[in-house]
Structure 1
């Protein structure tokens, strides 16, 4: 993060500076938090409730980013400051609300916090919130507390509390390539008191296994701003100045850099006051000139997009969105993403041009052919995504199906049959009226003209949004890795374990899922099964199939097994299971 190394030359934080955070409970046994200056508190005004796994993961990640022990694998931004992590359960019984938020802010104000990060959120239809929360924030501001809060991840003009209140520093998120995330909220409620910071690929601790994970969202951006704020307050003390939270807040807002229309997808209001510029804020705070050349906003380097099987009305999508290879930077026009339920007239529309497709033989998967005949989109239009350009041409899409993962006999276990079993379970549950609890991702595709624009990431986020809107607890995906076809002899389990030095998966599409909050949990060894006579396989692939044993076919992830004696060949494609838990309340 630009500006942090320069501040670290002067201070790693000051124990007299107190950071208060309302989030999940941290795992203080993680190596980076063992011995760290972190205190975990429970909300005494709420009944004792065991924390859910997501809350604990979120709290552990936030604590490590702010206060990870110096010299550990994950040093925090302000590790010498004192951090108080105030747990707030996010269960069905304890959904974050304005009254509980008010009590949490009062608790941390009374504890002497200089900066309070309220990570949780509740929505507002009126750009306002409960008087009790406003009173608590007013009291905190009068006590000299700087309050930060995420702007939220709701794709547009969405006001969430407490970020909507003028005294709160609202924080939106931009991608690692400098472009704004589409999900980052904006609008009049944040005018004059918001900025944006990096909200992607920031590593933090995970509980229980001493692990590391990259997170994504406005909750990531707000943690970076909170850490930067604590360092600036510590710098004031280091220089013998009065600790002045108001001056720090004003410096951050006054020096925020405007974004370009390209970075903001044509809507510069998405960037709130602008991009965080910590070096400029430091110079402004100290009253010294910023001698740097005026920095440009972060470079716009397109991310990789995903491709898979042709969208409706062509064959069904491929397993959990198969991504494409890197493309050159694109100047693709803005894209609108909706569900088919919102635009039913697109049910029979064809994509603009010819979308990239999967190996042709996958179109002969039995479950896939059956789903085509049953018209998936007619049964599940709220989970069919359609992406169109300004001319109305389809340039991408996705399909998912709801099903009951925790029904008797399934018991929360993902099936070895992967993609095929998702279809079977979804249709069975639909026929029997079994209420779903999980959304299964069948595929995401992006047209060649929009590869390299981040559209695949947006479609994945939109798919998670449809799951939340339906009240489902989780999105699961049998992922078909991007580059596995280049080495069909490698066991899928070995391929799935490969990681980069930063701890993220080596495969690009797996990496996209993990960055979006997914977790690799296992292998679906027979996710798609295609069987046919040798004559059929010759027609599908153009290969001779004239010997017994394994046959390497372009595009296949594993060899196809052929038998001359029995005149047939079988392809059993393994996929990688990725689970995306969805928070019971908005942990932005």
Structure 2
């Protein structure tokens, strides 16, 4: 039995390694993001002009994209504090408020743009994807560019995930993340197999930004995967701090290998779960070869030291929607 809800896991991993590194880039491929929310004030967010970015109407896609982005990039002392607020973010919408279906062409375009703009990690939320059985040449080519650039792709491991589609495209560094409740049961259930999920994390009641400046709790694999994408960014930042070249593929392996084995409800199936900060420390030790105590870092001391030396932020006043 896990005994941890998503909000508790979320709080447990906040400010690990001081909140990240401005040289590490995480791309979010989801809905548009309402960057007027107070949690993004000062965040290093770069909007990418994808096809879906031009169709913003403050609907379900924008609500989900805003929540996902806040889990990663929400700033310290704001209404939503993200796990990697100092990392650079690329906002590349693939879902639209007026048509919650992502074409393979839109997905390929967003992946290409993310790689072109220096993404180390790409988070892709689940949704409805057109033509999922047979990958297009454009999507295969986009995934090939991810492989060549050593980009880690983190996806929500759910029934509507694009993980299987990306596997058919030949994705070499793919990390599907499942969400579990307090009792360790897979959220979403149904025909989701633990064999199709890399790790599971507590994914119920994750607090994030909502439209009109409010906050709300959401649950599910997309939101759990956002936390792990942020954690991957933290691990790459830890590599940089130790004079090592950031290696997204190795970070993905470290995340997998530092998970805690737990028996699932289903017979003969075992899930690899992340429960708290100890998993981050174990992953960092595997990745850097250095044992680290993340609680020894003062989040505010490191926050201000890093903030003053970074490039100027692209904050919400520049462009309300991305």
TM-score (normalised: structure 2) = 0.76
Find the residue that maps to 1:116 and give its secondary structure.
strand
RMSD: 3.2
State the structure with more CA Rg.
1
Mapped contact 1:163–1:170 kept (Cα < 8 A): no
Deviation at 1:289, TM superposition (A): 6.5
Q: Could you report, residue by residue, the CA deviation over 1:15-57 in whole angstroms, capped at 9, with x for unpaired residues?
A: 11111111112211212112222233331x4693233511111
Mapped contact 1:176–1:201 kept (Cα < 8 A): no
- Residue 212 of structure 1 corresponds to which residue in structure 2? 215
Aligned: 1:40 with 2:52: no
Aligned: 1:77 with 2:83: yes
Separation in 1, partners of 2:13, 2:62: 32
- Residue 125 of structure 2 corresponds to which residue in structure 1? 119
Deviation at 1:240, TM superposition (A): 1.7
Q: Could you report, residue by residue, the CA deviation over 1:515-552 in whole angstroms, capped at 9, with x for unpaired residues?
A: xxxxxxxxxxxxxxxxxxxxxxxxxxxxxxxxxxxxxx
Going from structure 1 to structure 2, the CA distance change for 1:120 and 1:153 (only over 3 Å counts) comes to closer
Mapped contact 2:31–2:94 kept (Cα < 8 A): yes
More strand by share: 1
Q: Could you report, residue by residue, the CA deviation over 1:149-193 in whole angstroms, capped at 9, with x for unpaired residues?
A: 111246xx9974336755221111111333322537644983xx7
- Residue 176 of structure 1 corresponds to which residue in structure 2? 182
Determine which structure has greater relative contact order: mean sequence separation of CA pairs < 8 Å that are 6+ residues apart, divided by chain length.
Answer: 2
Deviation at 1:82, TM superposition (A): 0.8
Mapped contact 1:114–1:145 kept (Cα < 8 A): yes
Find the residue that maps to 1:149 and give its secondary structure.
strand
Find the residue that maps to 1:136 and give its secondary structure.
helix
Separation in 2, partners of 1:234, 1:158: 27
Deviation at 1:259, TM superposition (A): 2.0
Separation in 2, partners of 1:122, 1:25: 16
Q: Which runs of 5+ in 1 are unaligned?
A: 292-588
- Residue 269 of structure 2 corresponds to which residue in structure 1? 268
Separation in 2, partners of 1:137, 1:146: 11
Deviation at 1:93, TM superposition (A): 5.1
Separation in 2, partners of 1:194, 1:166: 14
Going from structure 1 to structure 2, the CA distance change for 1:124 and 1:244 (only over 3 Å counts) comes to same
Going from structure 1 to structure 2, the CA distance change for 1:218 and 1:34 (only over 3 Å counts) comes to same
Find the residue that maps to 2:40 and give its secondary structure.
coil
Separation in 1, partners of 2:14, 2:243: 15
Going from structure 1 to structure 2, the CA distance change for 1:253 and 1:125 (only over 3 Å counts) comes to farther
Q: Could you report, residue by residue, the CA deviation over 1:333-387 in whole angstroms, capped at 9, with x for unpaired residues?
A: xxxxxxxxxxxxxxxxxxxxxxxxxxxxxxxxxxxxxxxxxxxxxxxxxxxxxxx
- Residue 285 of structure 1 corresponds to which residue in structure 2? 287
Aligned: 1:255 with 2:258: yes
Aligned: 1:31 with 2:32: no
Going from structure 1 to structure 2, the CA distance change for 1:4 and 1:285 (only over 3 Å counts) comes to farther
- Residue 148 of structure 2 corresponds to which residue in structure 1? 142
- Residue 313 of structure 2 corresponds to which residue in structure 1? none
Correspondence 1:404-483 to 2 at 5 A = none
Mapped contact 1:150–1:163 kept (Cα < 8 A): no
Going from structure 1 to structure 2, the CA distance change for 1:288 and 1:186 (only over 3 Å counts) comes to farther
More helix by share: 2
Separation in 2, partners of 1:4, 1:214: 13
Deviation at 1:6, TM superposition (A): 7.4
Aligned: 1:98 with 2:104: yes
Mapped contact 1:98–1:122 kept (Cα < 8 A): no
Separation in 2, partners of 1:7, 1:213: 18
Going from structure 1 to structure 2, the CA distance change for 1:247 and 1:31 (only over 3 Å counts) comes to same
Q: Which runs of 5+ in 2 are unaligned?
A: 1-7, 294-322
TM-score (normalised: structure 1) = 0.43
Separation in 1, partners of 2:60, 2:217: 14
Separation in 2, partners of 1:11, 1:204: 20
Find the residue that maps to 1:77 and give its secondary structure.
coil
Mapped contact 2:33–2:63 kept (Cα < 8 A): yes
Correspondence 1:9-408 to 2 at 5 A = 10-43=17-50, 45=51, 48-90=54-96, 95-122=101-128, 129-153=135-159, 160-162=164-166, 166-167=171-172, 168-183=174-189, 186-187=192-193, 190=196, 194-208=198-212, 210-260=213-263, 263-266=264-267, 268=269, 271=271, 274-276=272-274, 277-288=279-290
Separation in 2, partners of 1:71, 1:24: 25
Deviation at 1:124, TM superposition (A): 8.9
Mapped contact 1:41–1:84 kept (Cα < 8 A): yes
Separation in 1, partners of 2:16, 2:114: 29
Going from structure 1 to structure 2, the CA distance change for 1:127 and 1:4 (only over 3 Å counts) comes to farther
Going from structure 1 to structure 2, the CA distance change for 1:289 and 1:18 (only over 3 Å counts) comes to closer
Find the residue that maps to 2:141 and give its secondary structure.
helix
